[in-house]
Amino acid sequence: MERNLMKGNEALAEAAIRAGCKCFFGYPITPQTEISAYLSKRFQKEGGIFLQAESEIAAINMVLGAASTGVRAMTSSSSPGISLKSEGISYIAGSDLPCVIINVQRGGPGLGGIQPSQADYWQATKALGHGDFQLLVYAPCSVQEMVDTVTKAFDLADEYRMPAMILADGLLGQMMEPVTFPEKKESFKDKPWAANGHGGKREHNIINSLYLQPDVLENSVKARFERYEDIKAKYAEAEMYLTDDADIIVTAYGATARVAKSAVNMAREQGIKAGLIRPITLWPFPVKEYQKAAETAKLFLCTEMSMGQMIDDVKLAINCSKPVEFYGRTGGVIPKPSEIFEEIKKYNGGAK
Amino acid sequence: MAVVFEKPKSMADVTMHYCPGCTHGIIHRLVCEVIDEMGIEGDTIGICPVGCSVMAYDYFNCDMIEAAHGRAPAVATGVKRTNPDKFVFTYQGDGDLAAIGTAETVHAATRGENIVVIFVNNTTYGMTGGQMAPTTLPGQVTQTTPYGRDPKLAGYPIRVCEMLATLRGTALAQRVAVNTVPRIKEAKKAIRKAFENQRDKKGFSIVEVLSTCPTNWGLSPVDALKRLEDDMIPYYPLGVYKDADAFSEKEGE
């Protein structure tokens, strides 16, 4: 297999092409702009559609239009831009449309900064727009995993007719690593619901999220949540690293998980029984993996590039049966392995 | 017995929710007649707005998509770019197109998106109960301009066709009205031309249709038609503001 040394953002873009993405609508924002630059170059040559929209709001609505006709569509942005897209994401979810949205997170709130951050966890998993709905949320931790999760995100989005997000960060977007790509996908799931012209061969299709009868709206939301239960049962993913005998379970996702893994290795060298749970899907959250670890572990240490957002889901997953401590840096500061190692030492031997 | 008048084939056989005297029904019909005459129902995708025509997806027999408030031109762009040989139209009101969706409207026009925009201007937000619209006339009483629109407080109305006619990507910008039979015929011709422009890939075509809102204007349907004539047309003159091929090399710039 051919291996390429590639920047994370460019790998995300190439992975989308391999996944059969036909169009990309975006708006410039650091630190994800390489995705637009890469796709503008490739799509113009290869017959895909690249369009720089007038705003993030327009870009996500162009995705809604393209996805309505049954083609694989994508947009990407970074934190402040994702906030602008939230209106469209809610409509996409309410219209049962598949698409992929990339968030290469940067520091916030407001304009924040342009350095890596994980402060959009709550937004991605709890509230990406108004109304009752979820997105599939993947949290890759390497350039290769960015490629792998883009492929999965497009497939699952089509399967369940819902939006999927790749929740990356500025570190993953900007770093270079060797990566291999899958073959270009050529055959896709049929989309008989698509609004692409009925050609006189079927009833007209309507893509819509409006239901003025409360009971009809309630039923449509409930049907969506039944599909969510199916996804929860089948597609939650996590990497378990040295967790079987661990007293202290460090948990982190994305770039922070790489730092946390180094800290776990440092602890093991000192004879401290530390392990790592790294969620690969943030929604659905890998609840079973945490529950299993909670049977034997004495304490959980959640580490994030935020003031503590995923920690809520960790506590819920184990029903607060063990202490869950937190260590985080925010605003674009990346924690060092030594900082997390110090925290592990602090909690070694049980709760403080 | 000979049939002399019937519902267009592309118009759904359902009861519409519009108020008595509202001219949305006429405008829907004109769009459907053009779709029928051009034989393009199976190749057409319509985009509905938020506003009184929010449920228009139930009234057209072609494929339909419901957009968020103001975003119809962006949604239409996504549809048209991925389906360049299909016909795409948006159907939008004044608040949708000229307030919350101004950026989407202007940029779809300047890109020369090959779409048709049917812009229904009745100088008010009808669905929410008659608030000030970007096209509300100076002095006009609405729920949110209870003493009449004062330009010193609320600014001036936007003349959309005149504004969009300044953009190179606009192929057609024409204002019509549906308050008399000859004008209804003229409006249909303009809509037909807009769809033909799309077929011929000439660029962005907008037909602004001056319309009535008897309910929120507090007028009878007949008086509402008279207001359109006496108050609206002087401020929003009918006519063709631009008619060109947006991508012809002749128009130097």
- Tell me the pLDDT tens digit for each residue of B187-200: 999 999 999 999 99
Q: Are B130 and B143 in contact (CB under 8 A)?
A: yes
- Nearest-CA distance from A180 to chain B in Å? 29
| Preferred mutation among A40, A43, A204 to probe B, highest tally of B CBs within 10 A | A204
Is residue A352 assigned to a domain? no
Q: Is A351 a residue whose pLDDT tops 60?
A: no
pLDDT digits (tens, 9 = 90+) for B86-125: 999 999 999 999 999 999 999 999 999 999 999 999 999 9
| Preferred mutation among A91, A208, A209 to probe B, highest tally of B CBs within 10 A | A208
The pLDDT confidence band at residue A54, using thresholds 50, 70 and 90, is very high
A204:B103 CB<8 A: no
> Nearest residue on chain B to A201, judged by CA atoms?
B42
Residue type, A255: A
Helix (H, G, I), strand (E, B) or coil at A178: strand
pLDDT digits (tens, 9 = 90+) for A112-147: 999 999 999 999 999 899 999 999 999 999 999 999
| B182 CB neighbour count, 10 Å cutoff | 8
Q: Is A350 a residue whose pLDDT tops 70?
A: no
| Total domains present in chain A | 2
Is residue B9 assigned to a domain? no
Average pLDDT value for chain A: 97
Can you give the pLDDT at residue B251?
58
Note down the domain range covering A326.
Answer: 239-347
Cβ of B103 under 8 Å from any chain A Cβ?
A: yes
Residues A160-166: what's their mean pLDDT?
98
Q: Is A215 a residue whose pLDDT tops 60?
A: yes
Is residue A259 assigned to a domain? yes
Cβ of B36 under 8 Å from any chain A Cβ?
A: no
- Nearest-CA distance from B125 to chain A in Å? 19
ipTM entry: 0.96
Do A206 and A341 have their domain in common?
A: no
| Total domains present in chain B | 1
Q: Which of B42, B78, B80 sits opposite A61 (nearest CB)?
A: B78
The rounded distance, in Å, linking the Cα atoms of B175 and B230 is: 16
Is residue B164 assigned to a domain? yes
B43:A67 CB<8 A: no
Q: Which residues of A touch B42 (CB under 8 A)?
A: 197-201
Q: Which of B42, B57, B65 sits opposite A65 (nearest CB)?
A: B65
Q: Are A63 and B78 in contact (CB under 8 A)?
A: yes
Can you give the pLDDT at residue B1?
82
CATH number at residue B231: 3.40.50.970
The pLDDT confidence band at residue A1, using thresholds 50, 70 and 90, is confident
> Nearest residue on chain B to A97, judged by CA atoms?
B65
Helix (H, G, I), strand (E, B) or coil at A347: helix
Note down the domain range covering B44.
Answer: 24-243
Do A29 and A66 have their domain in common?
A: yes
Q: Are A186 and A122 in contact (CB under 8 A)?
A: no
| B155 CB neighbour count, 10 Å cutoff | 13
- Nearest-CA distance from A59 to chain B in Å? 7
- Nearest-CA distance from B226 to chain A in Å? 34
Q: Which of B47, B74, B81 sits opposite A58 (nearest CB)?
A: B74
CATH number at residue A279: 3.40.50.920
Last residue of a domain, one of A235, A251, A274: A235
Q: Is B59 a residue whose pLDDT tops 80?
A: yes
Q: Is B25 a residue whose pLDDT tops 60?
A: yes
B42:A91 CB<8 A: no
Do A228 and A254 have their domain in common?
A: no
- Nearest-CA distance from B109 to chain A in Å? 12
The rounded distance, in Å, linking the Cα atoms of A336 and B2 is: 85
Q: Is A156 a residue whose pLDDT tops 80?
A: yes
Do A155 and A72 have their domain in common?
A: yes
Query: Strand runs (DSSP E) across chain A, as ranges?
Result: 4-7, 23-26, 49-52, 73-77, 99-105, 136-138, 163-169, 176-179, 206-207, 238-241, 248-251, 274-279, 281-283, 299-304, 324-328
**R_g of chain A computed on alpha carbons:** 21
Structure tokens at B28: 């829907």
Contacts of A144 by beta carbon, 8 Å cutoff, 6+ apart: A11, A177, A178, A179, A180
| Preferred mutation among A51, A52, A72, A207 to probe B, highest tally of B CBs within 10 A | A207
Residues A14-20: what's their mean pLDDT?
97
pLDDT digits (tens, 9 = 90+) for B158-168: 999 999 999 99
CATH number at residue A59: 3.40.50.970
The rounded distance, in Å, linking the Cα atoms of B45 and A198 is: 9
Helix (H, G, I), strand (E, B) or coil at A78: coil
- Nearest-CA distance from A58 to chain B in Å? 5
B42:A210 CB<8 A: no
The rounded distance, in Å, linking the Cα atoms of A308 and B241 is: 57
Last residue of a domain, one of A235, A266, A300: A235
Can you give the pLDDT at residue B249?
76
